[in-house]
Structure 1
Amino acid sequence: MTRRIVRTACQLAALTFCSIIVVYFLDNRFRVLPSAIHNVMPAHHPGLVITDITVTRCSSVNLISSCKLDPEIWHRVEKDLFLGSGWVSSAYVHVQRKKEEELLAEDKVIVDIKVGRLDPSSGQKGEENARWESRPGGLWLKRSAKRHASDDSRAITAVDVLFGADAVDPRPAWETVDRPLLLDVKGEIHEARISVRRGKPAAPAKGVPRIRDNGKFKIMQLADIHLSTGTGNCRDPEPADFDSGMCEADTRTLDFIARLMDEEKPDLVVLSGDQVNGETAPDAQSAIFKYAEMLVKRKIPYASIFGNHDDEGSLPRAQQMELIETLPYSISSAGPEDIDGVGNYVVEVLASGASKHSALTLYLLDTHAYSPDEHAYKGYDWLKKNQIDWFKQKADSLKKAHEGYTHIHMDLAFIHIPLPEYRDESLPRVGKWREGVTAPGFNSGFRDALVEKGVVMVSCGHDHANEYCSLSPNESGNPALWMCYGGGAGFGGYGGYGGYHRRVRFFEVDMNEARITTYKRIEHGTAAQLAERIDDQIIVEGGKAKGL
């Protein structure tokens, strides 16, 4: 209901006001974030070409200056190039864009963009090095030598702004200009980079998760990668003396994950929340694009849910998911609008070959963020009744279809915040319990619903240094549900707790035996030690939870 109210309000309100409303309604702590004005996604329309680009700069103490140009002629990319850090100054990229059929005889489309202090054509000859036009911020534009030329493969058809020295753009036909705009900013986090699309928008590739011909399937769970805008600073790195200089959190995190992807070759990646370190991500889009780029490059399908930190930056959950849904190989979904949260959905992993039957079902649910009733239940939020009802109804509705699978069908679940049952220290477990379990104070009964519907494993994140799997029994005392932690993988989030090394959990599924094996891979700071694999255990055998 909240998301519908917000969208209606956005249609009636001015742009800036709409941004504030979205954050107000969707932020669980009811805060209007300082960067609220940066969270409107750029609009890209098919059939448009760019005929001019400029940068405007304005000051709140200079009434003559303005960051607004004639909206009938210019479209503003709604991202302050100073990310709100300019105190009294702001700057924006504006573009002129026209429909191809509206181009006039004198119009020439932009076919190239560069950033620098010197004219790129200096000392060069020929049509390919035709005169470049200067714009503020060190921006240089090259127009087509031909009139219109909207069919030119080089024609720029959309413009966006990303931030950070490590900014990348995973969208089809998009590329990021290699130098940041020349602005008087401090720190690489504020390096504003132009990203452009050439040609008409292409539909993103969508991977279909499917059991391999040998009956195997591997899931990589990325928990708490905590990416920032820019490279970020490491928190509690291990080994502490690995990098004698500045430890760049995102660089080290992404290098670790990329090497594991190349070695393990997962069939599906589940991002189980806190992908974005909200407090250090004034542009969440730039952070999201960094993990997406790795997956798109390797053509790995991926499913995302949110943690409590994802929407503490520039974009609330709803807008993040709208963006993520459009990216190549993303199978993420906002889910039904009439239940609480954003990102309650099902992923069906199809049987091998050309079968249309589901072999594995993954239930992904939004565990929200902070308690809505701190007086009664301090700490974190809980899964709501309508979410649990949705899960039960979904499981019941899929049951008949799953009976068509020739082997044993299995159900798994992924969440971000652990369930209250994770606190039970008496349960048998494999792996380390290093910190207090920060589960919600109110138990809404999701663990019981999982057992009732035959889910054999649920895995979460949130508590970075906890990385165990514990076995929860049914009423008869028999193994019923494995409750796992992914283990924090990101250097932008806390580590600590006795020299915790970042790690990633894998689930190796063998449909021939209806068996699931899980293990972790650890980052020790050097490639030579990366191969360490620990805590191998079979958690499911014959389609049922297996005891220790």
Structure 2
Amino acid sequence: MTRHLLSSLLFLGSLWTLSTAYITDIKLVSCDANHACANYPGYRKIPTDLNQGVQDADTVYLHYKEDKTEAPITDIQIVQGLNDSHIPHLAKWTKLKVDLNKRGEKNDDASLWLYFTKDTSISKTPVTSIIVKEGTSPLVSAEYRRIPIDLNQDIGGYHLYMYYSQDGPKDPITAITAKQCFASNCYLDVSQTHVSFLVVLIDEKGWERVEKDLNKGIVVGMSVYLFYRRSKTEDPVTDVIVLLNDQTPPEGYTKIDTNLNSIFRGDAIHVWYRTTPSNPDVLRDAVQDLAIEFGKQPVAPYGWQKINVDLNSAGNGKDSFGESTFLFVKKGYRALPKMDPLAFNQDGSFKIVQLADLHFTNEEGSCMDIPVDMECKGDLMTIEYIERLLDKEKPDLVVFTGDNIKGAGVNDARAATFKFVEPVIKRKIPWAAVFGNHDDGADLTRDELFEVMRRLPYSMVQQGPLDLPGVGNYMLNIFKSNQKQADPAFALYFLDSHGYAEDDQEGYDYIKLEQLDWLVHSSLRSSTGRLNAAAFFHIPIWEYHEESNTNRPVVKLGDARESVSSPAKNSISAFESFKKANIKFTSCGHDHVNDYCLEREDIQLCYGGGAGVGGYGAEHLDWPRRARVFELNYQGETVSTWKRLFTQEMPMIHYQTLY
């Protein structure tokens, strides 16, 4: 092991958590119409052609890998043209030899070259995710940085931009500014020319944009965006405040002249910030990040502070003209609380609460299918039910089984995520999640939502093997109550059931063969043989239908108030793989008013039942929302389950022993 690799891994040891995985290699591959593009085993392929829409261009794809035995990539940059002499510490960067603007030509000034470094003297923040988004100003999560050059610049085609996220403590912010624009394509980037100049990660003066228009939803006015920069030659920002109209500022603060509430309406709103001469104590608590959340009562995520002034307000910092908009500040770096592996309690028990189909928003939310005499309080109703359920059952793990977010109509999926996990985080309960068909129907992709979730306390979500279809295929072991035992006693599998079938928008996609092969292979890894196991996913598999293909009667407990919305039956059988992997029970969501467990060939196929008032239900027909509870006993040798109704009494119904 090289000294560089050893020092990198030692530094990163303090950052690694269960759900953390760092990118350790990047490959670019190009191919023309006569040759198929190569795939790399163990690498994830970004599905977007980086030359998409360019006439007569080769196809270019980016692949990346994660490997905990290798030093991570800590920064990325793109250079236009062949002149890379302007790159500081050029020898510490690796250049990929494929032109991102590949058109069958060489050595032209429009060429784009991707560089990465692993040198911690340049950056100590390992790269955790890379995405590509289409548009001149696509919506993107606050966890990502934008590389400010159109990947198809000067050659036509679609507007494509690359974004990447990093982990760990960052250099402090040293200056903040704002800009008014007539459109969302509002940046402070370098003006691009045909000259072969270096195009750096951010613009000439180092300004990066805080995503989200501060005047979103207004009828009259301009788009306004905040920007910040980090400079090693400037003092760090140590405080940020927002003042209205003629409020008196404290001494020593710098005013941003741009009125965030542009133009001529409501409060005049300005951001002020203070810088402090740098020393170790100041740097420890300096401002590291800024972010915007939409919604009247947004949740402050772990390590962030909310400034309680609506940046879109009509008066006194309240009553928004457009979208309620709040600024959040992160001071210093707070590592996530350390978590022990999941383990059975001393009495051999382990309890799981499943929450299905919450359909949360970043706004107040709505109510579907509730009695006419029931007051609608939107998402708050679901939150109150969840809190009472958690306090009653006191689970060891909470599993969110998809459609956690309402999808279409949500304009801040990041804020909605903070909202649905907050009751669990407040109680310091470990939690896991899978995606449903609606979660990525708003402003963020599955990759972005995963980055949001993995950075939250008590999160056990994992990306899973990069070369598997989907996001979030992973396994969690539950260990014996005797912590000296090295072998697990029970396995929990989490699978991405995807969304809609690509070739049929009326049908649902299915769990892929690669995922199932991984599941079966993973079940063989225990030294004590195949463990008893369970699987959680969102969309039911075909076998959830009650029809029996054998002479054995179908045993079912619970309600079936709607048809099973599963993928069509096909040659790839998830059920057969579940049998091979010793899956004892599964549980899904998706069909909100089904809540049964159905036994098929010694596997219990369960529904959680819809929990959120933001999704459809049957409460108006005297069928309340509900949640399912599983209790494993005798170190997983037996499992019982029941449901809790979301009523005032919250009664237990349909208690049964699954095996």
Please indicate, yes or no, whether the TM-score normalized by the shorter chain is above 0.5: yes
Could you report, residue by residue, the CA deviation over 1:162-184 in whole angstroms, capped at 9, with x for unpaired residues?
1212211332x322222221357
> CA separation of 1:412/1:294 partners in 2, compared to 1, >3 Å: closer, same or farther?
same
The equivalent residue for 1:428 is 555
The equivalent residue for 1:208 is 341
**1:109/1:150 contact within 8 Å kept:** no
**1:283 Cα shift?**
1.4
**1:196 Cα shift?**
1.1
Q: Distance in 1 between matches of 2:77 and 2:217?
A: 25
**1:131 Cα shift?**
5.3
The equivalent residue for 1:224 is 357
**1:327 Cα shift?**
1.9
**1:109 Cα shift?**
2.4
Question: 2:172 aligns to what SS in structure 1?
Answer: strand
Counterparts in 2 of 1:202-281, with a 5 A limit? Answer: 202-237=335-370, 239-243=371-375, 247-281=376-410
196-205 or 487-496: which moved more? 196-205
Could you report, residue by residue, the CA deviation over 1:475-516 in whole angstroms, capped at 9, with x for unpaired residues?
xxxxx1000001111111111373431111110111257221
**2:544/2:598 contact within 8 Å kept:** yes
Letter paired with 1:520: K
**2:310/2:326 contact within 8 Å kept:** yes
* Structure 2 unmatched ranges of 5 or more: 1-38, 49-60, 64-75, 79-99, 102-128, 146-165, 191-202, 261-268, 549-553
**1:186 Cα shift?**
8.6
Q: Which residue of the other structure, out of 484, 487, 510, is the alignment partner of 2:606? A: 484
Q: Which protein has the larger Cα radius of gyration, Structure 1 or Structure 2? A: 2
> CA separation of 1:60/1:362 partners in 2, compared to 1, >3 Å: closer, same or farther?
closer
> CA separation of 1:47/1:461 partners in 2, compared to 1, >3 Å: closer, same or farther?
closer
**1:228 Cα shift?**
0.8
Could you report, residue by residue, the CA deviation over 1:130-187 in whole angstroms, capped at 9, with x for unpaired residues?
355444332442425x53366236532221111212211332x322222221357996
Q: Distance in 2 between matches of 1:292 and 1:448?
A: 33
2:251 is aligned with 1:130 = yes
**1:463/1:487 contact within 8 Å kept:** yes
315-324 or 3-12: which moved more? 3-12
Q: Which residue of the other structure, out of 204, 207, 213, is the alignment partner of 1:80? A: 213
> CA separation of 1:379/1:322 partners in 2, compared to 1, >3 Å: closer, same or farther?
same
Question: 1:340 aligns to what SS in structure 2?
Answer: coil
Q: Which residue of the other structure, out of 148, 162, 185, is the alignment partner of 2:278? A: 148
Letter paired with 1:439: S
> CA separation of 1:395/1:500 partners in 2, compared to 1, >3 Å: closer, same or farther?
same
What is the aligned length? 490
**1:389 Cα shift?**
1.3
The equivalent residue for 2:509 is 381
Write 1 or 2 for the structure with the bigger share of strand: 2
> CA separation of 1:448/1:49 partners in 2, compared to 1, >3 Å: closer, same or farther?
same
Could you report, residue by residue, the CA deviation over 1:113-140 in whole angstroms, capped at 9, with x for unpaired residues?
245445255xxxxxxx535544433244
Q: Distance in 2 between matches of 1:447 and 1:35?
A: 43
Could you report, residue by residue, the CA deviation over 1:9-42 in whole angstroms, capped at 9, with x for unpaired residues?
997689xxxx998467xxxxxxx8x994344634
Q: Which residue of the other structure, out of 419, 431, 446, is the alignment partner of 1:317? A: 446
The equivalent residue for 1:414 is 536
The equivalent residue for 1:439 is 566
The equivalent residue for 2:654 is 535
**1:109/1:148 contact within 8 Å kept:** no
> CA separation of 1:66/1:336 partners in 2, compared to 1, >3 Å: closer, same or farther?
closer
**2:379/2:613 contact within 8 Å kept:** yes
Q: Which residue of the other structure, out of 284, 297, 305, is the alignment partner of 1:175? A: 305
The equivalent residue for 1:370 is 500
The equivalent residue for 1:293 is 422
Letter paired with 1:193: F
Cα RMSD (Å): 3.3
> CA separation of 1:466/1:66 partners in 2, compared to 1, >3 Å: closer, same or farther?
closer
Q: Distance in 1 between matches of 2:618 and 2:245?
A: 45
> CA separation of 1:46/1:410 partners in 2, compared to 1, >3 Å: closer, same or farther?
same
Q: Which residue of the other structure, out of 210, 224, 228, is the alignment partner of 1:95? A: 228
2:179 is aligned with 1:56 = yes
Q: Distance in 1 between matches of 2:272 and 2:541?
A: 54
**2:361/2:413 contact within 8 Å kept:** yes
The equivalent residue for 1:336 is 465
Could you report, residue by residue, the CA deviation over 1:339-394 in whole angstroms, capped at 9, with x for unpaired residues?
2111111011111132332121011111100012229xx41111111111111111
79-88 or 460-469: which moved more? 79-88
Q: Which residue of the other structure, out of 631, 634, 641, is the alignment partner of 1:518? A: 641
> CA separation of 1:401/1:536 partners in 2, compared to 1, >3 Å: closer, same or farther?
same
* Structure 1 unmatched ranges of 5 or more: 25-31, 122-128, 404-408, 474-479, 541-548
Letter paired with 2:656: Q
Counterparts in 2 of 1:151-170, with a 5 A limit? Answer: 151-152=281-282, 155-170=286-301
> CA separation of 1:188/1:504 partners in 2, compared to 1, >3 Å: closer, same or farther?
farther
Question: 2:501 aligns to what SS in structure 1?
Answer: coil
The equivalent residue for 1:546 is none
**2:172/2:230 contact within 8 Å kept:** yes
Length-normalised TM-score, structure 2:
0.68
Q: Distance in 2 between matches of 1:50 and 1:20?
A: 23
**2:598/2:604 contact within 8 Å kept:** yes
Letter paired with 1:491: V
**2:631/2:641 contact within 8 Å kept:** yes
2:573 is aligned with 1:451 = no
> CA separation of 1:515/1:66 partners in 2, compared to 1, >3 Å: closer, same or farther?
closer
Letter paired with 1:97: R
**1:416 Cα shift?**
0.5
Q: Distance in 2 between matches of 1:120 and 1:514?
A: 66
**1:232/1:250 contact within 8 Å kept:** yes
**1:23/1:316 contact within 8 Å kept:** no
Write 1 or 2 for the structure with the bigger share of helix: 1
Letter paired with 1:536: Y
The equivalent residue for 1:126 is none
The equivalent residue for 2:151 is none
Q: Distance in 1 between matches of 2:137 and 2:615?
A: 21
Could you report, residue by residue, the CA deviation over 1:402-421 in whole angstroms, capped at 9, with x for unpaired residues?
57xxxxx4211111000111
Q: Distance in 2 between matches of 1:448 and 1:338?
A: 22
> CA separation of 1:195/1:515 partners in 2, compared to 1, >3 Å: closer, same or farther?
same
The equivalent residue for 2:51 is none
**2:216/2:322 contact within 8 Å kept:** no
> CA separation of 1:521/1:3 partners in 2, compared to 1, >3 Å: closer, same or farther?
farther
